[in-house]
Amino acid sequence: MKQINSINVIDASRPFEERLLDELLAVQAAMNGDRRATSSHRRSRRIILAAAVAAAAAGVVVFQTLPGSVGTPTSASAAPFLRQAARAVLTAPTFSEQSAVVPQANQYVYSETEDPNGTLTQIWLSADGSLPGLQRWTSGIKGEVPASGAIPYPACAVAQVESTGCFPQAGYFPDMPTNPNALLSYLNQIGVTDTESPPANAPGWMDNDLAKGIMYLMETSYLLPAQQSALFELMAQTPGFTIVPNMADAIGRVGVGVEWNFQGDSGALIFNPTTYALLGDRSWPGPPVLSAPYDGDALLGIGVVNSIPPSQTPPGS
């Protein structure tokens, strides 16, 4: 790791988690003289990770991973797997430390995802939604000139949702309930889900809406351990989710699929079977066929950063 103007530059050829871990260790070392530090829709082709380095150098505080489990589930119902994940989140030592980390209002939650073509998407969301955010992408299709683009996100704090009707552009939800029985009402209230008014004759609406909301939160938000546990438990309490072992994500990592069906179509969230970390998502028009063309993204990681790097901000935003 090199030092340039007192900012840690992370090797872009290494996986996102390793780069953020190095940054965390550097932060800890800098504060350790002293005292010990604790830490916190979107894509990993090596040729396009240079943009991610700028975000990491902006001041990564923590990278979210999930703890280990025992064995791989084989039952048709996803409930045992989801409940095991919910328990493990609350007992992992790393998550005890993470619970003490509170993103500040002037910070951003940064996430990366990658699609099957290698397109990297980066999102910066204001921790409390009070500052504008940004989504930026860089094409990674082989043989083509890399294309890029950006979409600015207007500020929208959770407190503004009911009064203005905006969608919360926050990366951290400190008021999110940790009781799964109260959690769904909260998600409906802030507009992440809409399970209270399902359309007529729409079997699977609850599963589809809940899964998409949880996917959004896990791919873009800084979640406390108890909040993650409640999300797992809420899915476990909802009938209709099934297990598909050995499902690969968009970049080939093999995990456990938690699958659902909605009006003849199918979707899945893919989790690491030994860490419970979300690997990504996948959907199908019709019944799931693992050999079909891939429609979905792989989650590379989530961290807390101090700013949107100036080099990433489009002119005039």
User: Per-residue confidence of the chain (317 residues) as pLDDT tens digits?
Assistant: 222 222 222 233 344 444 443 433 333 333 233 322 222 233 222 222 222 333 333 344 333 433 333 344 444 899 999 999 999 888 876 655 666 678 999 999 999 999 998 999 999 999 999 999 999 988 876 655 567 888 999 999 999 987 888 999 999 999 999 999 999 999 999 999 998 888 877 888 999 999 999 999 999 999 998 999 999 999 999 999 999 999 999 999 999 999 999 988 999 999 988 888 899 999 988 888 878 888 999 999 999 999 998 766 554 44
pLDDT at residue 313, rounded to an integer: 58
Characterize 79-112 residue by residue with b for buried, 16 or more Cβ atoms within 10 angstroms of its Cβ, and e for exposed: bebbbbbbebbbebeebeebeeeebeeebbbbbb
Neighbouring CB atoms inside 10 A of 245's CB total: 13
Closest CA to 118 of 141, 149, 137: 141
pLDDT at residue 149, rounded to an integer: 85
Closest CA to 189 of 225, 220, 158: 158
pLDDT at residue 252, rounded to an integer: 94
